[in-house]
Chains A and B, each alone.
Chain A
Amino acid sequence: MRHGRYPFVVGFLVAPVTLYVVFVIAPYAQAFQISMTNWRGLSAPRWVGFDNYRRLLDDGSFWKAVQHHGVLLLALPLITIAIALFFAFLLNVGGKSSGGQRQGVRGAGFYRVVFFFPQVLAVAIIAVLFQMVYRPNESGLVNGVLMKLGLDPVLFLIRPNLALWSIIAVLVWQAVGFYVVLFSAGMAAIPGEIYEAAEMDGASRVTLFFRVTLPLLWDTLQVAWVYLGIAAFDAFAIVAVLSVDSGGPDGATTVLAMEIYRNAFVYSKYGYASAMGVALFFLTITFAALTLRLTKRESVEY
């Protein structure tokens, strides 16, 4: 039955692969080509070789953006996964056990829906929403309350030291819901007997979490880490809509995509912007490869 299998498979693959090549691979390849040129997006590009890459080396805003990706890369997955794991654990196995089966806390179904809400909203809407939350005067959600209480308003997006963390908070808030669901699915796949056995041996909830849930969830965690890492290389929409002065104050919240956007669509330096795009591409690939290598470890079979 092996012959005839390839035409069958190919038949299914032609359309998606063509679409992928035309709309994903080709633009990627083209970015490599454009990055070697000096192109204003209007007339034919002029070949300049590696000039744009040399320029990248002493571009302060580029390195600032890379540095912010470093912070995002650590903070975003760590915080998101920690919160999501905690919630998922409570929703699935954090409650009492009935009939030998571990249950979630009371109202788990309701919370599950609530946690997923942010995921349903478009990113732009979330950014606009947080403009209201962070607004630095009496009409802001947080500062309105603070000022009613007679306190000074917190300048979330304005203080250079606070701005990036305010942005990270939004990214975490938005991502948590999805990972709660992802981890819940992972936890649901863990056989109940294992918990039962552990409990008979007198394991507390904390021990259950660290000794049973976490190891058995390793594969899912890894996927979450890669996804969140890739998300940390993006963050464009939130930064573009939410931050002061497009990635400000003074570049305190800028990310590579913001710099790419600025160079391409404000400065009309498409070649240079493409060089940044290529740099971003390699950063992302390196990250994904490194993560997969570092987290390699035998998964537990059950």
Chain B
Amino acid sequence: MSVTPDNPAELSRRTLLGRAAAAGLLATPAVGLLGACATSGSDQGSSTRAEGTKSAGNPLGVAEDAPLEVVIFNGGYGEKYATDVHQPLYRKAFPKAEIKHQSTQAVSTVLQPRFASGNPPEFVNNSGEKLIDFGSLVADGQLMDLTEMWDAPSVGDPTRKVRDTVVPGTVEAGSFNGKPYVLYYVSTVFGIWYSGKLFRDNGWAPAKTWSEFTALLDKIKARGITPYGYAGANAAYYQWNVILTHAAKIGGTDVLKNIDNLEDGAWQQDAVRQAAEAWAEIGAKYVDKSFEGLKHTDVQLRQNQYKLAFYPSGDWLEGEQEKDTPPGFEYQLMPVPSLTSSDRLPATALRATAGEGYFVSAKSKNPRGGLEYMRQMLSVAGAKGFTEVVKAPTVVTAGSEGFAFPPGVASSQAALKAAGQDVFNLYFDGWYKELDTEARTATNELMFGRISADAFCERLQKRADAIAKDNSVAKFTR
């Protein structure tokens, strides 16, 4: 068996390439058996879960000496609030427990293999661009039911349950099919932002109605400033958020509920079409075409340079831009203006929710420790400490009292108060990532003039229908 060429020169590049390909193909079936490794063993989890005795000081029955692993997303809020505030609180309550702290900017890269191998950390701050899809985590039974934690007595005041110490809607924001799995900790208000200084200097006032709004945009344009803009390259969801907020104000909050529940024709409701039409016109007249190719940091910087007047975002914007904001800029929030006088909700209505998700892994070794960590976070001391470190309000009602927020967050808190009961939220982007992606793409198409409002609605409806029919996607309703 002498297949080896006696003359090495015969082994040309051609035969070498050919043989390598053949070898690769032959080798494939032979090692098929090896394939079982990365996907196996994921269902076992930890068979023994730490549990202690319940008492007044330990209502969740935490094993006092069980170690606890905490993974924090090191993004806009950093990790200092965890290491300097929350972890000392837990240690004070359970001095024998060892806390292993870890922080990352790519949550799914670090943790997905840990879940797959059945060894997840107890407590996770699942956030950032690389978060693990919450819907998948819930569908795969990886998350601990938080009902017990919400019903436990709060840390400072044992007569009140934890769920009664937070702003209404917090538990619902983290619920999937009615069961609470995620704690959204940071109070977030969405709106359209402008510089208080720029507007004062030019004698402009924020708009309440659509005609006021377009008149104002015309004035701004005449001053040589781009009136409105968002970043198409990576932050188109800031804009679909505005369109859908507007739709909810026009047609009532059920408009969004229908969208979240993947109802037939939800995206083709009149309110959605009207909102899309109105904003397509803004896109055509007042948005710089180049913004489609810019990232959110670029566009936000332009606003800080007074080259852009209005920018839609949540109230994390002020903190995020802290380094680039010129002194006296003064971020201010304007709720999305009313379209007509027959709008269902008043002009003050806005989208607000709790943001920044935290969960406890059901298949970790010490899930009760994770629940307790959450309860400590939701104590007044935990919330106050968080707000002092990151300058953002938490969902704990007593946590922000007496804190002097910077102008932007102060204005969003004031707007939230003014909105009263007319506060709403939407969920589909967290439940169905594909629909979020499609909404981003369609929003760019709409705002930069490539499709009409009708086509926008039709396109999104088509994708929503496809998801509703797809049996591989876990469904949620509210």
Contact = CB atoms under 8 A, between A and B. Distances in A.
Contact of A137 (B35, B290, B440): B290
Interface in A227-253: 244-246, 248-251
Contacts of B139: 40
B35 A29 contact: yes
A103 interface: no
A161 B331 CA distance: 38
Contacts of A101: none
Interface residues of A, number: 55
Contacts of A158: 232, 289-290, 292-293, 448
A160 B445 CA distance: 11
B133 A267 contact: yes
A191 to B, nearest CB: 16
Interface stretch (A30-38, A69-77, A205-213): A30-38
B377 to A, nearest CB: 24
A26 B21 contact: no
Given A21-B31, A41-B115, A268-B132, A157 B293 contact: yes
Given A26-B34, A244-B292, A38 B472 contact: yes
A222 to B, nearest CB: 7
A268 B116 CA distance: 12
A44 B40 contact: yes
B168 interface: no
A26 B33 CA distance: 9
A244 B12 contact: no
Contacts of B401: none
Interface in B270-300: 288-290, 292-294
A244 B116 contact: no
A29 B444 contact: no
Residue of B37, B39, B112, B116 ringed by the most chain A CB atoms within 10 A: B39
A44 B133 contact: no
A296 to B, nearest CB: 8
B13 A44 contact: no
Given A137-B288, A262-B437, 4 more contacts: A41-B115, A158-B289, A244-B233, A249-B232
A136 interface: yes
A280 to B, nearest CB: 14
**Dominant SS at the B interface?**
helix
Interface string B434-454: 100100110011001010000
| Size category of the binding interface on chain B | 35 or more
B433 A244 contact: no
A265 B108 contact: yes
Contact of B21 (A30, A160, A288): A288
Contacts of A21: 27, 31, 34
Contacts of A155: 289-290, 292-293
Interface string A263-275: 0011111011000
B340 interface: no
Contacts of B14: 219, 222, 292, 296
Contact of B28 (A25, A250, A269): A25
A29 B39 contact: no
Interface in B321-340: none
Contacts of B40: 44
Contacts of A222: 13-14
B21 A43 contact: no
B293 A135 contact: yes
